[in-house]
Structure formats: C-alpha cells, structure tokens
Amino acid sequence: MEIIPAIDLIGGKCVRLTQGDYNQKKEYSSDPLEVAKRFEGAGIRRLHLVDLDGAKQKKIINHEVLRRIATQTSLHVDFGGGIQSDEDIALAFDCGARQITGGSIAVRNEALLLSWIERYGPEKIILGADCINEMVAVSGWQETSTLSVFDLIEKYLRAGIRYCICTDVSKDGLLQGPSVALYKKILERFPALELIASGGVSQVNDLHALQELKVFGAIVGKAYYEDRISLQELASFQ
C-alpha cells in the first residue's frame, strides 16, 4: 500500500480544513516545499497536492507551489483543485504534476473529462469520488449531487480510468477512522480499481486496516500534522 501524504494549499501555505469547511482552517506550514522534502527524505514516494483556492475559484491558483515541489523533489505528485478547463490541465502537467485528480468536473462536465482521458491517457487521470452517505459531493464538498459513488466509478471504469481517490467527507479531518466499510463495498464491486482511501485516518492501526483491504494507497493528512502518526511510522509502509 502506498502512503500518500496530503498537502492542502490556501494562499501558498500548507493548511487543513475540517470536512471541507473553509471556516475551519488550520495552518501548519508557510513552506509546502519544506514539508514535501520532509516526506521525500523519509522515503515516501507520492504526494497528494490540493489547491483549495483553486477548488473555490474553479481555476488553478497555486500552480507555482506545484512547480516548486515537482522540480525540487522526486515525489510523484498528483494535483487537484480547480482543474476545470483544457488550459488548467495543461498548466498542471506543465508545472510537473504526474497525475491530476478530476472531482467536480467528473460530474459537471463528463465530456471534458473523457476528452482528457483520451488525450493524456487514463493512467494520468485520477477520478476524485468524494461522497457523503455514498452520494457524490462536488464543488469542494459544498454540494451533494444525485449520483451515487458506485455509479460514478462504474461510468469512468468503462472509460478506462484505473485510479480513484475516494473521500468520505463525513470522516475528513475528524480523526475518527476511515470508511473501511465503504471501501470494502467499492472493492468488492470493482476489484480491478486502484482505490486510494482518503479521510479519517487517525492512527497507525487505521492504516493497517486499509492495508488489509488491499487498497492501492492511503492518503494521510491531519493525523500526521497533529503528531498522531510519525513520519517514521508512515515510512514503515513503503
């Protein structure tokens, strides 16, 4: 299982929100590159970089932070937040993203996301399937759609998508454990999916539980920043 630390960006700084609420923001570092280098130094290979300003404004804002991390570390960076146009995705890849995550766009503009899958290849696009009560959440989790997370995944698997980040918004930032039951249901239905679990990880045992499910990866954010899981513990999964 890949450990994938998350760096969420507002104003170029490393922050975390609780349940996607911009009013529940906590800043952890003014230098995301330094944080990324710490992960790299521990032997971690991947990074989940989220432009929260971009998610709110529906266009990439923090692309220079992406460029700095991509050019000054060897981390495999997947980037999301605000990628809503051909110009945005081209900018993300130009700045060094190895993959991009399409969340709201997968619901709001299916034709555009499908065109990106065809143009860049399905391995370059991660489906962002964020949900509340198994229903897909969009616009930085500010809205819940009428589409189930299972229907969304099935649609894009047919289009060739292999990777999916699934966040249970009700768990995110609360440090109350991940949605193991939800991920189990997803993997039972879609065994070929490279599922990346996100949200709720609070201790090392949560990571062991996800590893037992055989998810592809686990995103870790607040638990690390709040010193509930050490860098050495994260590195032990690599």
Active-site positions? 8, 130
Q: Which amino acid does the sequence have at 94? A: D
Distance CA 136, CA 149 (A): 5
**Phi/psi zone of residue 98: left (φ > 0), alpha (ψ -120 to 50 degrees), beta?**
alpha
Q: Which amino acid does the sequence have at 235? A: A
Taking CA atoms, 3 is separated from 106, 122, 144, 193, 196, in Å, by 25, 22, 28, 17, 9
